[in-house]
Amino acid sequence: MKHQNDNSRRDFLKKLTGSTAAMAIGSAALAGEQREKYIEFLSRQRYMANDNINIALIGAGIMGTQDTITALSVPGSKLVAVCDLYDGRLKEAKEKWGQDIFTTRSYKELLNRKDIDAVIIATSDHWHQQISIDAMKAGKHVYCEKPMVHSVDEGPAVVAAQKETKKVFQVGSQGVSSLGNEKAKQLLKDGAIGALNYAEGFWARHSPAGAWQYPIPADGNPSTVDWDTYISNTTKRPFDATRFFRWRNYTDYGTGMAGDLFVHLFSSLHFITESFGPNKIYAAGGLRYWKDGREVPDVLLGTFDYPDSQAHPAFNLSLRCNFVDGTSGTTYLKLVGSEGSMDVTWDSVTLKRNKSVDSDDPFMIEQMKRAGKPITSRKRILAPEEYTFAAEKGYLGGPYDHFVNFFTAIRNNGKVVEDSVFGYRAAAPALLCNDSFAKDTAMLWNPEKMQIIKK
């Protein structure tokens, strides 16, 4: 099949020499050759706005607070209301953003307000679907944290609600709006790594907070927490502060390492390759260290088959997540092709391109001559050429750009990349890792139709 990314090395080089931001610095002696190191700086224009978009936050914990700070740093946004099920968060919200902010435990009360244009949904995962649908039906634009849904069967209703209401709906894997992801997408299109055949990504951590052992507030009890509402869409149990404040560790509320972290890598990979996703998903893992009563693994591996499609050739993906990693603190995404590879972050792309040349080994040349073979028949691989594409100093980052894209779509009646269909296609293979792990079998998925294939 002909793929839209089937460009050659020549396309890439043509663009490279035309770039004004590029420069070659220094030179390195590699394998006896002089090599220039190439660096190009990536930049963005400042965002401006003449009016205010009124926003509200639902779920004012770690990420909701961070999202709101980011959203308010974009010109033309104003926070009017905050909702949370724990009173401590509402108190903190007023201290941070002013006593005149409207606060409530009920998201439905917040959605009834006419002065809100858009909501940020940053609750635990098991509330994303219901609140997203209710919010769009109440006429609000939605920025919903990842993963878009808590289980694969929840996705179609969100897609349908967005289609029906025509609201701007954006999922919060902020990397897809970053300069680094955009550059990687362009490089792949220009043929910089040849034909894609493999990708890999990982998250490595080794700390209690990194492994989701978050602090439990001393005043977290049934009078300050609306536990009944929290569990109203899942298994009924008596109040449990550990479950409420460390919800990621329990399958009723969280989506494990795959839903929490793999989903970011799927989002970036799908954005860069324009892929709809894998058709075969297999996960393995276990609970090795953080044995605190959690129901989810702390080491997880996923392998994925991506079928040949219009966007890309067939390739394989390998993801892993380790909360007991002695090297710790690393996130990583690499795309490998027939002519090179790219290490992709939100702020940079490091491109390595292989180069093979005729042998210059005198012994080999002599042997070849004696054997009567042309000396060009044996090649050797040189250390790869390296190109760095890095965001310029002062870049405001992927999270900022993600809110700029969200607000721009609201203002222009436009579209966002990470809409409900994109969000579902990124969440589904991550969530199917959980199903694969639980059932100890590979899951089959039709990424185009967004349907599980029964075996």
Give the interface with ligand NAD as residue ranges (CB under 6 A): 58-64, 83-86, 89, 107, 122-125, 127, 145-146, 172, 174, 229-230, 260
The nearest distance, CB 60 to ligand NAD, in angstroms, is 6
Q: What residue is closest to ligand NAD based on CB?
A: 61
Select 122 or 138, whichever has its Cβ closest to ligand NAD. 122
Select 244 or 306, whichever has its Cβ closest to ligand NAD. 244
Amino acid letter, residue 386:
E
User: What is the rounded distance in angstroms from the CA atom of residue 411 to the CA atom of residue 418?
Assistant: 17
Sheet holding 451-453, edge to edge: 22-30, 33-42, 379-391, 348-358, 340-344, 330-337, 196-204, 315-322, 299-306, 280-286, 443-446, 451-453
Nearest-5° Cα angle at 79, 73 to 82: 125
The nearest distance, CB 134 to ligand NAD, in angstroms, is 10
The nearest distance, CB 304 to ligand NAD, in angstroms, is 21
169-171/141-144 β-pairing: parallel
User: What is the rounded distance in angstroms from the CA atom of residue 108 to the CA atom of residue 312?
Assistant: 43
Contact between 282 and 303 (Cβ < 8 Å)? yes
Select 107 or 424, whichever has its Cβ closest to ligand NAD. 107
The packing angle between helices 62-73 and 87-97, to 10°, is 20
Q: What is the H or E stretch that residue 185 is in? A: helix 179-189
Contact between 12 and 22 (Cβ < 8 Å)? no
The nearest distance, CB 151 to ligand NAD, in angstroms, is 14
Select 64 or 447, whichever has its Cβ closest to ligand NAD. 64
Select 85 or 428, whichever has its Cβ closest to ligand NAD. 85
Contact between 253 and 59 (Cβ < 8 Å)? no
Helices within 32-178 (DSSP H only)? 62-73, 87-97, 107-111, 128-137, 155-165
Q: Euclidean distance between the first and final Cα of the chain, in Å?
A: 27
The nearest distance, CB 402 to ligand NAD, in angstroms, is 9
The nearest distance, CB 72 to ligand NAD, in angstroms, is 17
The nearest distance, CB 350 to ligand NAD, in angstroms, is 22
Select 187 or 432, whichever has its Cβ closest to ligand NAD. 432
Select 121 or 193, whichever has its Cβ closest to ligand NAD. 121
